[in-house]
Structure 1
Amino acid sequence: MALAAATALGTAGTASASAVGTATIGSFSYELHGVGVQVPVGCFLTHRIEGSGRRITDQFAGVDCVGIAATFSRFCNWRIDFTYTDTDNRTYRTSRGATHNSCSGDPLRHAAPQVLPKYGKACARFYVNGRQRASQCHSVVK
């Protein structure tokens, strides 16, 4: 996934065949059971979607870290949501992921195949301790 993150950094695509996009997760800190946790620069949210038009045959999102961040980054109380918006940017569906109370260095979520009722965007949103830390979207077009 690191290679996909490096080659697709900051890109967005359509769901006409397949698309991979990556968003940078900036450095941040949060508190866990009274202890401060620092996440350094070097982590990315990668979102892959496959399908045609409104039919999504495969979709996943995950976090990958490189360099020093790969050694020291652990995400606790994390979740990944998938949201879908129409062409007027109105969210009509949210698939909320489970909150993982355990700590992980490589959060990952896979979504079941589906047919969207509208064209617009499909987004992956990464949350840590209830705060959104990154999002990455793809256009869903004919």
Structure 2
Amino acid sequence: MLVAAAVLGFAAVGPMGVAGPAHAGALGSTAIGTFTYEVRGAAVKVPVGCFLTHRIDGSGKRVSGQLAGVDCVGAAATFSRFCNWRIDFAYADTNGRAYRTARGATHAECDGAPLRRAGARTLPAYGKACAKLFVNGRLRATQCHYITK
């Protein structure tokens, strides 16, 4: 129930959905596994309870906006900090060949709820659009939506 509340809270940030043939509507989350990383000589642990949530809105190959961020529940909501983080939006065709990555800015500050928005774009091919969370230079989670005819 806590996860559902976190996802619904993320959904309330703004209207979005997945690019589909005539309508859109996708919101997905993937669990971020627990991990430890080092910042300025200190170990930082991210416990179980955090999720990468990705929303995409549009119609067909026209994406009108995307939103991706980290939601944490329970103790993770209190104790999780993400330092040196960035969120990329990556695109691949139906054969899985990546054709574009919109790299996000790396945020040196530590944040409990990383968030990135992206504006409109028209994709050259059907396939998938993914949000990728990097922390301290390492890929920690990926969440994708398939965009088909």
Report what 1:10 is aligned to. none
**Which of 93, 99, 118 is 1:111 aligned to?**
118
User: Unaligned stretches of 5+ in structure 2?
Assistant: 12-16
The TM-score normalised by the length of structure 2 is 0.87
Report what 2:57 is aligned to. 50
Matching residue's letter, 2:36 = S
Report what 1:27 is aligned to. 34
**Which of 81, 93, 97 is 1:74 aligned to?**
81
The TM-score normalised by the length of structure 1 is 0.92
Specify whether residues 98 and 67 from structure 1 end up closer, same or farther in structure 2 by C-alpha distance, changes over 3 A only.
same
Report what 2:132 is aligned to. 125
Number of aligned residue pairs: 137
> Residue deviations 1:46-100, cap 9 Å, x none?
0001111100111110001000000000000000000000011000000000000
Q: CA RMSD in A?
A: 1.8
**Which of 62, 66, 74 is 2:69 aligned to?**
62
Q: Secondary structure at the match of 2:7?
A: helix
Task: Work out the percentage of aligned pairs sharing the same amino acid.
Answer: 63
Report what 1:102 is aligned to. 109
Q: Secondary structure at the match of 1:69?
A: helix
